[in-house]
Structure 1
Amino acid sequence: MTAQRTFLIVLFYIYLHFSHGFTKDDFTKDDDICWDHPHASDYPECDFVKSRQRLVCFNGLKDEWRARAENVQILILCEWPKATFDSHEVLREFAFLRKLIIANSNLTRLSTAFPIKAQFLEKINVTGTKLHTFPKDAFSNLRSLRCLDLRNNALEEINVTAFNTPALKHIFLAGNPLRCTEDTAWILDPNEGSAASKVVDKDKLLCATPYDGRPLLPIVEIIATLKKECKQTVCDCELIYVVGRAGKLTQKQLIAFTSVNCSHRGLIEMPNFLPANTTTLRLTGNKIKDLTPLTINPVYKSVLDLYIDDNLVESIVRLEGSDWLDHFRLLNLRGNKLIDLPTYALENALHNGNVAGLYLGNNSWTCDCQFTPSFQDLLIRHSNLVKDINDIRCALMSDNDNSNKQIRDLTRTEICISPDEDSWLHPLDVLNIVLASLIFLVLGKLLYDYWSFKKTGKLPWIVAKIP
């Protein structure tokens, strides 16, 4: 290092000691210059304000300024022409730089960490770009960095180790499509000095898809709580959707929809505990027989969609008259041990206005004159809700003509007349023949009397005898 350069650095340290850094106005009045003065040319163009030691460049940095970099304390790069920014290369000669702004450009990546030579750099603004990634040690060499503004970029995930610099006090992140996942739980850290404590605009952070536009803090709180509660089960849990109520959105003003998957876990009974806001519960492929918890355990109050297919359920009688049966949205009972069910109770439930789907296929349904007619009527009447009506069949029995037939298509004769009975001369058939014969006799006698009266003028004998 030359003697002249060493002397300049010493003078600059003395200046910093007495000036105590930039004022608040110094930090903010340059931020919008790239937007206030758009640049139409494709060639680099720079303007230096000597009184403020500020260099503003559009569409790149001219090489001539590298030789004069020691005079620059504020560097503003508007419409940066490249997709990457190599701070080692660009800032190599800017040893006394105190503020850097990169704005209004298609920049997507900071390719290297900021060099240790930028030891006086106090504020970095990278705003209004397509920045989506930067090295985890991007700012680790900047011992004077106090403010980092990364608003309105394309950041989806943030490695918080990049913020582990001792002097950093203020971080701005609003306007980025941040993913609200378990990895974002760092934002909840209340400890002083944590990355979360440095984020100034936490209340303005919003989630990206699938919680698009929802406030980040309450969503991440819900996810963190769900993860904690899910550890008390043998299931997998997922926050699938969030609906906001009117007004300022906090965790208490958000309606969460959680899916809990306990399929194929070898369960012999329904779980005693579920995470809060469980709306979808999957219990497929277990050995559960009893559905009573739906009626007595309050953790099932919010469950709207229940998948309990391929289990050992033999009856749903215990659900009759229950609040759950009156409010469910989807019930999947495929592949269980059901032979019948209370059709009147299910009929009432299907009129609750919430039902979207009912699955009853692959059960061994009884096909007799007592149960099947009303069950068949229910299936036909609600065929839009019974999603697997083609799989609802009579029990598979070798000695039954209705074996494995679709219940929807059975006739009353097939249901109510046993094949052992004399099908060609059933008592009901005899009665029908007798009644039909009497009707024909009465009609014939009426026609004969009318013909006789017209021809002879005599009234029928029975009419003449009536007083």
Structure 2
Amino acid sequence: MIVQRTFLFAFLIYVHFSRGFTKDDEICYHPRVNIHSECDFTESRQRLVCFNGFKDEWRARVKDVQVLILCVWPKATFDPQEILRGFTFLRKLIIANSNLTQLSTAFPNEMQFLEKINVIGTKLYLLPNDAFSNLRTLRCLDLRNNALEEINITVFDVPTLKDIYLTGNPLRCTEDVAWILDSSEGSAASKVVDKDKLLCATPHDGRPLVPVVKIIVTLKEECKETVCDCELIYVTPPGELTQRQLIVFISVNCSYRGLTEMPEFLPTDTNILHLSGNKIKDLTPLATNPAYKSLLDLYIDDNLVESIARLEGSDWLDHFRRLNLRGNKLTDLPTYALEDALLHNRNAANLYLGNNSWTCDCHFTPGFQDLLIRHPNIIKDINDIRCAFTSDNDNSNKQIRDLTRTEICILPDEDSWLHPLDILNIILASLIFLVLGKLLYDYWSFKKTGKLPWIVAKIP
């Protein structure tokens, strides 16, 4: 049992040192049985260590304290103005291993010798913007392994501050953290020692913070050159690629903007583009504009697109993932080109072609119908792909997939009970039966009378 406890204790020490804890920090992680408030003062080091709170009886000796360590703080809040009153000569403060969630006030200005503050391993998520503004000698601020989701840059507005530690906090990767990109001398970002180790929280959980924030800031600037809304959807998780090779997925929404043409400019690495509800006719930019090189998903439903012929043989058609062409003015398309693209494009997942006025004739429809039947897993709205609605056509608004060749290739006025070809077939069949009948009669006559047929007798 003693060996197991010794091993457990050694393991706890290792874990906390591996997270960046100092020897003083590690004190708060010693296994303790007593849950009541207790303090221990080491006179040679002028160090006061308190567990489960701080009693007023120690205030008589606070001027002798230069290192104050508060472990397992019992309250959710910590009021520096009240609790640290009288610690005039304090040089180092550690608050660790507790359920502390917020500092309720700024540190008092009487603490003119305080050089280092460690608030580590707590649930701290809220700091006053002026929390450290009264400290004139603060050099190191360690806020690792807390619950800080966002930090206002004014918190670090302390002229003497040199080193800041922030790893282990679930920081939100938003534009509000853009200050971390400022590498100029004396900036708050330049003081963050572990900047390259910071990770994002949801929605980019576990991704490196600095590259992601840089992407977000760049995206916002580039989006200003469009009339669209832009959003960073996804970033590849660490481990799949190096930080310098992060792959991002960006969505740009230009729907219902009254556009008559596809945008000439898109933010870098745009993968998803929404153009629904505009008045766009031409899809040529997909094949010619480099801005669409990374585009995978295009939603251009409810527009005025009449043809996709310009995409034939294009690189975009060979790598697209989703294409929504519902509700346009399409009547036909290059079936062979689309068939070839779907066979060779491993990305192709969704294609929507419904609610268009498709031509139903013997020239286009059979090939188009075969395309629909061969790719039901990709063409998602096959039930809405119908013949154009016309009052004088029996195929009007019928599902193209279910049409028979007779319905497609025979015109209504040709669909009578006696077609000229049918008359010819009847005549030919009658002649065949007549010849066979005469042959049988001649054979019967020869067997009975021994006479050859008349025409055979006349042949020399």
Deviation at 1:373, TM superposition (A): 1.3
Q: Is the 8 A contact 1:315 1:340 kept in 2?
A: yes
Find the aligned partners of 1:317 and 1:392 in 2 and give their Cα distance: 19
Find the aligned partners of 1:443 and 1:181 in 2 and give their Cα distance: 91
Q: Secondary structure of the residue that 1:378 maps to in structure 2? A: helix
Find the aligned partners of 1:431 and 1:132 in 2 and give their Cα distance: 92
Find the aligned partners of 1:444 and 1:65 in 2 and give their Cα distance: 131
Find the aligned partners of 1:416 and 1:181 in 2 and give their Cα distance: 60
Q: Which amino acid aligns with 2:342?
A: L
Deviation at 1:29, TM superposition (A): 3.5
Cross-structure match for 2:418: 425
Q: Is the 8 A contact 2:206 2:237 kept in 1?
A: no
Cross-structure match for 2:341: 349
Of 184, 187, 208, the residue aligned with 1:215 is: 208
Residue 68 (str. 1) matches residue 61 (str. 2): yes
Q: Secondary structure of the residue that 1:280 maps to in structure 2? A: strand
Residue 234 (str. 1) matches residue 227 (str. 2): yes
Cross-structure match for 2:396: 403
Q: Is the 8 A contact 2:206 2:238 kept in 1?
A: no
Q: Which amino acid aligns with 1:34?
A: C
Q: Which runs of 5+ in 2 are unaligned?
A: 1-20
Residue 82 (str. 1) matches residue 75 (str. 2): yes
The 3 A distance-change label for structure 1 pair 246 and 91 is closer
Cross-structure match for 1:11: none
The 3 A distance-change label for structure 1 pair 220 and 419 is same
Q: Which amino acid aligns with 1:363?
A: N
Q: Is the 8 A contact 1:244 1:253 kept in 2?
A: no
Q: Secondary structure of the residue that 2:63 maps to in structure 1? A: helix
The 3 A distance-change label for structure 1 pair 90 and 370 is same
Q: Is the 8 A contact 1:314 1:336 kept in 2?
A: yes
Deviation at 1:426, TM superposition (A): 2.8
Cross-structure match for 2:15: none
Of 106, 109, 114, the residue aligned with 1:113 is: 106
Find the aligned partners of 1:210 and 1:432 in 2 and give their Cα distance: 73
Residue 31 (str. 1) matches residue 38 (str. 2): no
Cross-structure match for 1:377: 370
Q: Which runs of 5+ in 1 are unaligned?
A: 1-26
Deviation at 1:248, TM superposition (A): 7.9
Q: TM-score, normalised by structure 1?
A: 0.85
Find the aligned partners of 1:155 and 1:179 in 2 and give their Cα distance: 9
Find the aligned partners of 2:195 and 2:164 in 1 and give their Cα distance: 9
Q: Is the 8 A contact 1:128 1:152 kept in 2?
A: yes
Q: Is the 8 A contact 1:39 1:58 kept in 2?
A: no
Q: Secondary structure of the residue that 1:420 maps to in structure 2? A: helix
Find the aligned partners of 1:103 and 1:440 in 2 and give their Cα distance: 107
Cross-structure match for 1:322: 314
Cross-structure match for 1:359: 352
Find the aligned partners of 1:219 and 1:93 in 2 and give their Cα distance: 44
Q: Secondary structure of the residue that 2:155 maps to in structure 1? A: helix
Q: Secondary structure of the residue that 1:258 maps to in structure 2? A: strand
Q: Which amino acid aligns with 1:145?
A: L
Residue 334 (str. 1) matches residue 317 (str. 2): no
Cross-structure match for 2:131: 138
CA RMSD of aligned residues (A): 2.8
Deviation at 1:433, TM superposition (A): 5.9
Cross-structure match for 1:285: 277
Deviation at 1:427, TM superposition (A): 4.1
Cross-structure match for 2:120: 127
Cross-structure match for 2:158: 165
Q: Percent identity?
A: 77
Of 41, 45, 48, the residue aligned with 2:38 is: 45
Find the aligned partners of 1:115 and 1:158 in 2 and give their Cα distance: 21
Residue 268 (str. 1) matches residue 254 (str. 2): no
Of 135, 143, 146, the residue aligned with 1:150 is: 143
Find the aligned partners of 2:437 and 2:73 in 1 and give their Cα distance: 106
The 3 A distance-change label for structure 1 pair 273 and 404 is same
Residue by residue over 1:84-135, the C-alpha shift from the partner in whole angstroms, topping out at 9 and shown as x without a partner, is 2122221123222221111111111112221222232211101111111111
